[in-house]
Amino acid sequence: MSAAAGPRESAANRAARLLRWYPRPWLDRYGAEFTELLIADIADRPRSRARTLDVSRGGIVARLADAGLTGGPVVPARAGTASARASLGALACSGAVFLVVGAALWSQLTIGWQWSDSAGTPAALATTVTSAAMIALLALALTAALPVLLAIAANFTRQLIIPAAVLVTATTLLFACGRHFGNGWPGTGGHRGLVPGGLAAFEWATSLSVSAYWAHPGALAAFPAAEVAWMAASPLLLAIAVLAAATLVRRAELPPRLLAFETRVGLVACAVMAVFLAGCGCWVATGGQRSLFHAGVIDVAGVALMALALALARQAARAAGCRLAPAGR
């Protein structure tokens, strides 16, 4: 091995790390030549934060384009229905973000509803609309998930073992811990049930991480340690579960008819999400009016985040539909 092999090997390792930002189809087409350019650039500029930022930005843009979330011919098309599956994976991720943030806002409304004798008109309207929309979204999520799980089970391959195992483990932990921490639901004992208490408690527990308490460490320190740990771990578990589900959808050879069905369910879910968002927007815009329904900065931020997630989900669903059209249904 020559004396120059050391630095080149080190540069190649750094280039390989930077390449992780890019999606597989982009790497298949440009990976080798891009690696050579990075190695030469690292030799010219051994330390460059601008290069790291530029490459990571380019990789994110390529991943968004690969999922159909942005326009522009940045990434070569995947073969067959793989592009549509990538879009559906992005739809699942965006939908999950919407559901978690939405669950947090909805929990606040249901708790207020449980304890108040009468809600003001905006809060009552928001609680009713978001409750109906939340139940519809959960039903749609089940409608979307069941046929995919059946199709995956019918054609299970070795490359699905790891994401399937991760998904089962993460969802089991989420369910078990969600049920456990749901016992501390502040709505217990309230006198006005709008939705089943178990469902409201579970949603409250799984969305505890969406909280303004993160900005107040002193108040957070008064919480039981296990609850704070759950607040920190639950979004991680959710992210792992959603990414595992998206990986399963991307890797599994799902028939085009099923993907078309999933796309239609996704578009219906986007419409329901818009209704949910309108309900929350109505509540937040009025500030909640009564103390139990008070809407704070975290709720305004939540509505903004849900609007972004909805826009991404809708774009992903539309991209999936466009990408499936040439494949033939």
Asked if 111 and 186 count as a contact pair (C-beta separation under 8 A), the reply is yes
Among 8, 17, 57, 180, the residue binding other proteins under the rule CB under 8 A is 57
| Window 2 to 31, contacts with other proteins (CB under 8 A) | 26, 30
Among 4, 47, 49, 72, the residue binding other proteins under the rule CB under 8 A is 72
Among 5, 16, 77, 153, the residue binding other proteins under the rule CB under 8 A is 77
With CB under 8 A as the rule, give the number of residues binding other proteins.
28
131-140 as b/e, with b when 16 or more CB fall inside 10 Å?
bbbbebbeeb
Q: Read off the tokens for 263.
A: 């796309």
**Chain centre to alpha carbon of residue 226:** 24
> Of the listed pieces 75-83, 121-129, 173-181, 230-238, which binds other proteins according to CB under 8 A?
75-83
| Window 78 to 137, contacts with other proteins (CB under 8 A) | 83
CA distance 95 to 103: 12
| Window 130 to 169, contacts with other proteins (CB under 8 A) | none
Among 14, 24, 41, 308, the residue binding other proteins under the rule CB under 8 A is 41
Site mask for other proteins (CB under 8 A), range 249-268, x = bound: --------------------
CA distance 16 to 207: 36
CA distance 253 to 59: 26
Which lies closer to other proteins via its Cβ, residue 33 or residue 117? 33
Residue 183, exposed/middle/buried by CB under 10 A (0-12, 13-18, 19+)?
Answer: exposed
Which lies closer to other proteins via its Cβ, residue 38 or residue 269? 38
* 325 is an interface residue for other proteins by CB under 8 A: no
* 217 is an interface residue for other proteins by CB under 8 A: no
Closest listed residue to residue 266, CA positions, set 326, 303, 320? 320
* 64 is an interface residue for other proteins by CB under 8 A: no
3-state SS, one letter per residue, for 101-163? HHHHHHHHHHHHHHHCCCCCHHHHHHHHHHHHHHHHHHHHHHHHHHHHHHHHHHCCCHHHHHH
The distance of closest approach from Cβ of residue 45 to other proteins in the complex, given in angstroms and rounded to an integer, is: 9
The distance of closest approach from Cβ of residue 169 to other proteins in the complex, given in angstroms and rounded to an integer, is: 35
Residues at the site binding other proteins, with contacts judged by CB under 8 A: 26, 30, 32-38, 40-41, 50-51, 54-59, 61-62, 72-77, 83
